[in-house]
Amino acid sequence: MRRTIIYILWALLLAGILGVFAVFTFINKGWIGYVPPVEELENPDYKFASQIISSDGVQLGTFSYSGENRVWVDYDELAPCLVQALIATEDHRFADHSGIDMKGLLRAIVKRGILHQKSAGGGSTLTQQLAKQLYSEVASGTMERLMQKPIEWVIAVKLEKYYTKEEILAMYLNKYDFGNNAIGIKTASYTYFAKEPSELTVDEAAMLVGMCKNSSLYNPLRRKELTKERRNLVISLMEKNGFLTKEEVEEYSAKELVLNYRRVDHNSGLAPYFREYLRGVMTAKQPEKKNYRGWQQQQWYEDSLDWATNPLYGWCNKNVN
């Protein structure tokens, strides 16, 4: 009897291992869920704002056809303290794993799942979080929720294969929505502090990284004290991971949460009338005669001529891919 039970337990264990292997194989081959093809992984669908720059290099303003006011920045345009704050807070073993942090995952399972410790963390790496932002839809049922994590793991491993660690960090910060129409780290830096990401101080970087947990909850315009508490937690984690000294922690944590808030929208910036005219030209649709009244036939002729000969006219609709 005892031997039979042992055999059954071993069989169940083996079946579980084979089942897990089968699930990941099916996900990797695209038979379960959605795993983007190589072409999409190498060129993820980021929606960027158009920047209007004068001939002397001055940015007049931006507008976004998609509604996401995002402007890309490369890794070398990020302040070192911003990268350090993000790694210390979200994934302190980021440099050591290949998309999945097994230590963090096991810790989360034991502490959160078994011991019910809320401070245990979720076990998700930065790469997994990026995979979720880029490709995971909101789960609508129990089965979808069960499969969501394994799908994110597979995508995370693939992202680590095609991108360097620096590129993944930049992609994460460029993708995140920091609230108040501040999408991406460049727009967020300008919106909250009127600075470039490379100019952020430790306390400013810590505030923005703290918002990555939940930008609606840690909104410095609505919940200033709560956001400050979150900022100071990020600063303490930077010390824990060797990025700051105890004296620096005391210095930055004592600072008040001071913003230089500038809401970014299509009406802000220089030459708003010119930019609105330019937006109308670039987003124009192909003229159809039926949409013009009788007294507008000359306008239809001119618009049709512009559509055929002017590359700027209707550029957004001519270049949808």
221-244 residues labelled b (16+ CB within 10 A) or e (exposed): eeeeeebbebbbebbbbbbeeebb
In this prediction, residue 217 carries a pLDDT of 94
Q: Which of 253, 269, 296 is the last residue of a domain?
A: 253
We report the CATH number of the domain holding residue 118 as 1.10.3810.10
Q: Do 163 and 197 share a domain, yes or no?
A: yes
Write the pLDDT tens digit of every residue in 227-284: 999 999 999 999 999 999 999 999 999 999 999 998 766 566 666 667 777 777 777 8
Q: Do 70 and 218 share a domain, yes or no?
A: yes
Is 144 contained in some domain? Answer: yes
CA 137/CA 154 separation, integer angstroms: 15
Nearest to 97 by CA among 149, 165, 173: 165
Q: Do 15 and 134 share a domain, yes or no?
A: no
In this prediction, residue 154 carries a pLDDT of 85
Looking at residue 262, the DSSP 8-state letter turns out to be: -
pTM of the model: 0.74
Q: Which domain holds residue 94?
A: 50-253
In this prediction, residue 240 carries a pLDDT of 95
End-to-end CA distance of the chain: 66
Cα 80 vs. chain centroid, distance in angstroms?
18
Q: Residue 313: exposed, middle, or buried by beta-carbon count in 10 A (0-12, 13-18, 19+)? A: buried
Residues (pLDDT < 50) of the chain are 120
In this prediction, residue 90 carries a pLDDT of 92
Q: Do 67 and 146 share a domain, yes or no?
A: yes
Is 242 contained in some domain? Answer: yes
CA 226/CA 233 separation, integer angstroms: 11
Q: Do 55 and 27 share a domain, yes or no?
A: no
In this prediction, residue 231 carries a pLDDT of 96
Query: How many separate domains does the chain show?
Result: 3
In this prediction, residue 205 carries a pLDDT of 97
Is 14 contained in some domain? Answer: yes
Q: Do 59 and 24 share a domain, yes or no?
A: no
